[in-house]
Amino acid sequence: MGAEPVEMQTRVFALASGLRQRILAGNLAEGATMPPVRELARNNRVSTFTASRAYDLLVAEGLVDARRGMGYYVAQNARGFHPMEVTASEADSDSITMGGQEYCSRSIQLDAGCGCLPPSWLSAEGVRTALLRISRRPAAYVSRYGNPYGLPALRRHLAAALAQRAIECSEEQIIVTQGASQALELCIRVLARSGETVLVDDPCYPYVLAMLQARGIRAVGIPRTAAGPDPRILHSTASATRARVFITNTTFHNPTGTTISREVADNILMIARHNGMTILEDDVFAELNKNRSRSLASLDPQHSVIYVGSFSKTLSPNLRVGFIAASGDCLEKIAILKNVTSLSSSELAEQIVLSSLASGQHRAHLESLQSRLACSYEEVTRRLTDTGAELPFQGAGIFIWAKLPTRLHSAEIMELARQRGILLAPGRMFRPGSQPSDYFRFNVAYANDDLLYSFIRSLPP
C-alpha cells in the first residue's frame, strides 16, 4: 500500500481544511446545502472516496450534518465550533492518529507511544479456548440480536466482579457496550449538550477530547498531579464554569500513569457533591492494578458516579466489549440511546468475554500481565532517566509521561523520529484545545527498544 494511502490522506485533509475555512469564515451559511459528493470530487479533481472522507471528517467535528438520502448541510451553530484541525504532516507522524493503520508497518519500525498492548501480552489462549467452546453452539449466538443492556450472564458476572472492588451495583445497573469508547460516547451524549462545559483531566485521553469537540462541548482541563486531579483547581474551576460533568481516568491514568489517592478521591467526591456535578469515571485499566486501588465509584454511597470499564487491555481490543455501571434515570437514558444508535452490542463477543473471564486461566493471565507490566515500567523508567529525560510522575501501568532532553520543538522531534522509523505520541494531543506541550507519552510494552534510546541520544541538547 506504500505511499498511495498517505497521498490520499493528504488530499482528504486538504479538502476538509478548505471547506472548514469557508464554513468558519461564514462563506457557507448555517443550514446551507453542501455540494454533492460527486460534484465536490469533480470540482476539486479528487476521487469520490476522497470527497466522502473529507465530509466524514467535518461531520465528526460537528461542522456538517449528514442527512440520509438528502446530502450534506452546514450544521447549525457551526461558526461557534472550534474544531481541532489535524494537518496531513502531523497525521503522518504520530502514534495516535496513525495507530493501527496497516500501511504504517511498511515504514515504521517502532510505535513507541501507541495505546495498546502487544498481541502476545494479551489473553490469546483464553480467547481461543472460549471460541472453541462457543463454536459448539453457534446457532444460539448468530441468529438473533443481543439484549440492549447486554448479555444477562455477563452482567451478573460483572456485578460480582465489581463487588470485589467494593463497587455496589446489581446486574440491572450495568449496560454492556461496544468497548469503553462507546460507553464514554453514550455517557457524554446523555450528560452534556452542545455549548456546555465539561471538565477533564489535563492531560487527558485524546478520544474523550475528540468526542466532546465533535458535539460542540467545551473541554476545560484540570491539571493532573502525582495523586490525581488537582482538587483546588477542580473546586475553583467547577465553581467558575458551573460545569455539570467531570471526566477522569482513575487508575494508571492515560497518559501519565498516575493513580488517584484516597485523599484526592474523597476531595473530588466532596467537590462534585458541592457543585452538583456528575463524575464520569473511566477506569479501563483497573484490572492491571494488582493493588486494587479504590475507585471513585467504590467511595460514593450516593451512587452519583458513572463507572466505565473495558476488557481491551486484558483480553483483546478487537472484541470491543466494555460496560457502564450507573443508576436511576441516567442508566435508562443511556440504554435507550444505545438501542437507538446500535440496537444492541454483539452477543457473540459478549459470550467470548464471559467464557474467558469465567475460565481458570484468566486470573493467572492477569497476574502474569501485571508482573510483566511492572518489570517493563521499571526498565523503561530507568532507560529514559539514563538519557536525561524528565519524568514528572512515578506512576505505573502502561504509560510513562516524559520530556526528552532537547530544546527542539515537539514537531521537530517527531519528524526526526519518523525519519528513523519511530512514531511518537505528542503531548499536545492529550491537552484540551491542543495546547502546547513538551511531553510525550511512551508505552512501556514497546518503548524498551534500543532504536528509541539511540534516537533520543542523537538529539541535540
**pLDDT of amino acid 146:** 75
Asked if the model's pLDDT at residue 230 lies above 90, the reply is: yes
Report the range of poorest mean pLDDT among 84-93, 97-106, 235-244, 389-398.
Answer: 84-93
Question: Is residue 225 located within the same domain as residue 302?
Answer: yes
Average pLDDT over residues 277-293: 93
Find the helix or strand (DSSP H, E) in which 23 lies: helix 4-24
How many domains is the chain partitioned into structurally? 3
User: pLDDT value at position 24?
Assistant: 81
Q: pLDDT-derived band of residue 103, with 50, 70 and 90 as boundaries? A: very low
What integer pLDDT is reported at residue 95 of this predicted model? 61
**pLDDT tens string 148-168:** 899 999 999 999 999 999 999
Residue 146 lies in a domain: yes
Q: Assess whether 148 and 177 both reside in one domain.
A: yes
User: Between β-strands 422-423 and 110-111, what pairing exists: parallel, antiparallel or unpaired?
Assistant: parallel
- Average pLDDT along the chain: 86
Q: Are the C-beta atoms of 249 and 257 separated by less than 8 Å?
A: no
Does residue 319 share a domain with residue 232?
yes
The pLDDT score that the predictor gives to residue 208 is 96
pLDDT number for residue 63: 81
Could you give the 3-state DSSP secondary structure of residue 307? strand
pLDDT of residue 91: 40
CATH, residue 136: 3.40.640.10
Residue 99 forms part of a structural domain: no
Report whether 82 contacts 404 (CB < 8 A).
no
Evaluate the omega torsion of the peptide bond into residue 148 and state whether it is cis, within 30 degrees of 0.
no
- Whether residue 408 sits in one domain with residue 272: no
Q: Which domain CATH number covers 400?
A: 3.90.1150.10
Do 348 and 370 fall into the same domain?
A: no
Of residues 199 and 329, more confidently modeled = 199
What's the average model confidence in pLDDT over 235-258? 97
Residue 92 in any domain: the answer is: no
Domain span at residue 153?
124-358
Give 27-43 pLDDT, tens digit per residue: 888 888 999 988 998 98
Helical spans, DSSP H, in 227-320: 231-241, 262-275
Q: For position 89, what pLDDT does the model report?
A: 39
Tell me which residue of 54, 343, 59, 298 sits closest to 182, measured CA to CA: 343
335 and 448 co-located in one domain: no
Q: 62 and 207 in one domain?
A: no
What cell numbers appear for 10 in the block?
493528504
Q: Which of 358, 383, 413 is the last residue of a domain?
A: 358
Establish if 282 belongs to a structural domain: yes
**Cα gap 16→19, rounded to integer Å:** 5
Tell me, yes or no, whether 276 and 408 share the same domain: no
Among candidate residues 314, 335, 358, the one where a domain is terminated:
358
Task: Give the containing element (helix H, strand E) for 96.
Answer: helix 95-98
Q: Given CA atoms 163, 169, 172, 175 in this order, what sign does their dihedral have?
A: negative
Residues 167 and 48 in one domain: no
Average pLDDT over residues 129-155: 77
Task: Answer whether residue 372 shows pLDDT above 80.
Answer: yes
Q: Based on the domain organization, do 18 and 153 belong to the same domain?
A: no
Domain boundary among 358, 373, 407: 358
410 and 263 in a single domain? The answer is no
One domain for residues 351 and 414: no
Residue 379 lies in a domain: yes
Q: Where are the beta strands (DSSP E) in 59-216?
A: 64-67, 71-74, 110-111, 174-177, 197-202
Predicted confidence (pLDDT) per residue in 340-359, tens digit = 888 778 888 899 899 888 88
CATH of the domain at 55: 1.10.10.10
Residue 318, SS3? helix
pLDDT mean over 189-195: 94
Summarize pLDDT for 65-97 with one digit per residue, the tens: 877 678 888 887 765 555 444 443 334 446 665
User: What is residue 21's predicted lDDT score, i.e. its pLDDT?
Assistant: 79
Of 52-56, 345-349, 378-382, 407-411, highest mean pLDDT? 378-382
Neighbouring residues of 377: CB distance < 8 A, sequence distance ≥ 6: 257, 395, 396, 397, 400, 444
